A = this chain, B = another copy of it.
Amino acid sequence: MNSDTENHGFGAVLKELGLKETPKRRVMLEILAEEQRFLSPEELWLALKGRFKTIGLPTVYRNLEELANGGVISTVIHPNRQLYYYFCTAESGHHHHFICTSCRRVEDIPECTVAAMEGEIVTRTGGKITSHIVQFNGFCRHCLADPNERTAI
């Protein structure tokens, strides 16, 4: 249970995805896991610059995409259509998120009640649903209480 053996388990996660465990990837996951708000690739890059003498923005984009494809991190659907990522700590399976458009915090919405809706849609349209997007946007309790929580996008 020491930090050497635990190590956030990121090594195993990367191995499962067939990705080499590099320092950049490990620290990227560390930063995302410690940050409770969604980050843009450039913001993560700036954070990484404090930990590595050289770190390229393309590396950040590349790894973020790989990690998101592997399901290790989640993407945020943002009205400005830019990329944002978040490390979802929920152990459970399929679920959705409530994102604060003010401070960028992300909270889990454990149940997905959309399954029933899907059944009716299939019946009604005769189509086949391959995926769905459900995201709740708003202001989290912190931002409701304190406007200074606000984070610029």
Contact = CB atoms under 8 A, between A and B. Distances in A.
Given A77-B77, A98-B121, A121-B136, A128 B144 contact: yes
Chain copies in the assembled complex = 2
Contacts of A116: 113
Interface residues of A, number: 36
A136 B144 contact: no
A114 B135 CA distance: 10
SS of A interface (majority): mixed
Given A98-B121, A107-B125, A133 B133 contact: yes
Contacts of A117: 109, 111, 113, 136
A81 interface: yes
A76 to B, nearest CB: 11
